[in-house]
Homo-oligomer: A and B are copies of this chain.
Amino acid sequence: MATHKLLLLPGDGIGTEVMAQVKRVLAFLEQQGLASFAVEEDLVGGAAYDQCGLPISEEAMKRAFAADAILLGAVGGPKWANVPYEARPEAGLLRLRKDLQLFANLRPALCYPALADASSLKRELVEGLDILIVRELTGGVYFGEPKTITDLADGQKRAIDTQVYESYEIERIARVAFELARTRRNKVVSAEKHNVMKSGVLWKQVVSEVHGADYADVSLEHQLADSCAMQLVRAPKQFDVLVTDNLFGDILSDVAAMLTGSLGMLPSASLGAVEELTGKRRALYEPVHGAAPDIAGKGLANPIAMIGSLAMALRYSFGEGALADRIEKAIAGVLAKGFRTNDIKSEGATVVGTGGMGDAILAEL
C-alpha cells in the first residue's frame, strides 16, 4: 500500500477544531488498513506568527514542498489585527498559494438536498444547484507590483495595488475550466470587466482563443463580473463551470457558496500544474469558510467542509477515489439522518457540535 505524504496546517480559529476531526478520520482509515499516511503537522497564520514572527516558517514551507498534498484549516482573527502587513495571518496562505504555484482554485457550490431550506434563496432556485467555480489563484491584484502605501504632503497618503495578468496565466486556467466542463455539463461562463479593465480585455480575448482552438465543443459565455454576480442571485442554475480571476473569484465564489446555504459544508482544492516527469501536481485542500473567530473555541464549528477537503485530497492527489466516495457517502448519510451543526440547523434536526458531527461521521464510515 502506498504511503501518502500529507501535511496538516490547522491554522487559526475553528481551523484547529475542524482539523481535529480530520485526524480522527485519518486514524480510522489507517486502523482499518484502508490507507497509509505519513502525516506531518505545522503552523500557519496567526498561530505561526505567535511562534516565530512569520505567518509561515521556512521549515513549514519546506514541508509543504515535500508533501503530496496539504490540508489547511483556516487563518486569521482579530488577535492579529495589528501585526505588520507582511506578517498578517493571510500572508501565510498567500505565500503557500504563490510559492507552490497553486494557480487553479476549484470551489464547488453544491446545494445538498437535505439543506436546500437553509439557503436564503427560494428552494426551487437552489435545489440541485451544482456550480464549479474555477478561480485563478496566483495572479491578479493579489500579487501584482507595485503594492504600496506612500506618504504625500500634508499627511495625505496614496495606496496602490496592481492587477497584472499575462496571457499564459489566463490560458492555463481557461484550460482547466474547459477540461472540467467536459466532465460535467459542458458549459463555461467566463467573468471579467472588459468594459473597464485592460486585464478584462486580455482575459476575454485569451479565453475566446483557447476556446476556439481546442474546446469549441464546450459552450462558452462571457459575462461582466457585476452582471455575473446578479445572475448568480437571479438564476444560479444557469451556471455549470464559472471561470474568473483571483479577485472576482474571491467574491463570486463566496456569493455562490452562500446561495447553497451550506457554507460550513464546502471544500475546495487549489492545484498546481501537472509535472511532465512525475504526472503529479501540487495541491492544497481547504474549506471555503474562514477562521470564524466569533465561534472559535466553542466546539460549534461544522467539520464537514474540512472532512470533505480530505475526501477531495484522497480523490485528486492520492488516487483513492473509492475512499473519497466512502467519506462523501458518510457525510450524506449523517445529513440524511438529521444530524446538523449550528450553521445548518433546521427544525426537527439533531443539533451536534464539532466533535458530535465527527462521531456521527465516524460511526457512518
- Chain copies in the assembled complex: 2
Cβ of A215 < 8 Å from any Cβ of B?
Answer: no
- The answer to whether B165 touches A159 (Cβ under 8 A) is yes
User: For chain A, which range describes its interface: under 10, 10 to 19, 20 to 34, or 35 or more residues?
Assistant: 35 or more
Which residues of A from 274 to 299 have beta carbons under 8 Å from B?
Answer: 290
- Given A125-B120, A156-B167, A167-B156, verify A161-B229 contact (CB < 8 Å): no
A202 vs B150: C-alpha distance when bound (angstroms): 10
Which residues of A from 138 to 188 have beta carbons under 8 Å from B?
Answer: 141-142, 144, 147-149, 152, 155-168
- The answer to whether A120 touches B198 (Cβ under 8 A) is no
Cβ of A54 < 8 Å from any Cβ of B?
Answer: no
- The answer to whether B255 touches A229 (Cβ under 8 A) is yes
Interface flags for A240-257 (1: CB within 8 Å of B; 0: not) read 000000011011001101
Cβ of A197 < 8 Å from any Cβ of B?
Answer: yes
How near does chain B come to A155, taking the closest CB pair, in angstroms? 8
A233 vs B257: C-alpha distance when bound (angstroms): 10
Residues of B within 8 A of A163 (CB): 141, 159-163
Cβ of A199 < 8 Å from any Cβ of B?
Answer: yes
8 Å CB contact of A258 from B195, B197, B234: B234
Please name 20 further chain A to chain B contacts, defined as beta carbons within 8 Å, in addition to the given A141-B141, A248-B251, sorted by A numbering. A120-B122, A120-B125, A120-B235, A141-B196, A147-B197, A152-B166, A156-B167, A156-B168, A159-B166, A159-B198, A159-B203, A160-B162, A161-B199, A193-B247, A226-B251, A226-B254, A230-B255, A230-B263, A233-B255, A251-B251
Cβ of A134 < 8 Å from any Cβ of B?
Answer: no
Cβ of A90 < 8 Å from any Cβ of B?
Answer: yes
- The answer to whether B233 touches A251 (Cβ under 8 A) is no
Which 6 residue pairs are nearest across A and B when measured between Cβ atoms?
Answer: A159-B202, A159-B199, A161-B163, A230-B258, A233-B258, A226-B254
- Given A233-B233, A259-B233, verify A164-B160 contact (CB < 8 Å): yes
- The answer to whether A166 touches B158 (Cβ under 8 A) is yes
A199 vs B157: C-alpha distance when bound (angstroms): 10
8 Å CB contact of A160 from B195, B198, B230, B247: B198
Query: A261's closest neighbor in chain B, by CB?
Result: B234
Residues of B within 8 A of A161 (CB): 141, 162-163, 197-199
8 Å CB contact of A141 from B88, B165, B197: B197
A248 vs B226: C-alpha distance when bound (angstroms): 9
Cβ of A94 < 8 Å from any Cβ of B?
Answer: yes
Residues of B within 8 A of A94 (CB): 196
Of the candidates A161, A225, A247, the one having the most CB atoms from chain B within 10 angstroms of its own CB is A161
How near does chain B come to A169, taking the closest CB pair, in angstroms? 10
Cβ of A3 < 8 Å from any Cβ of B?
Answer: no
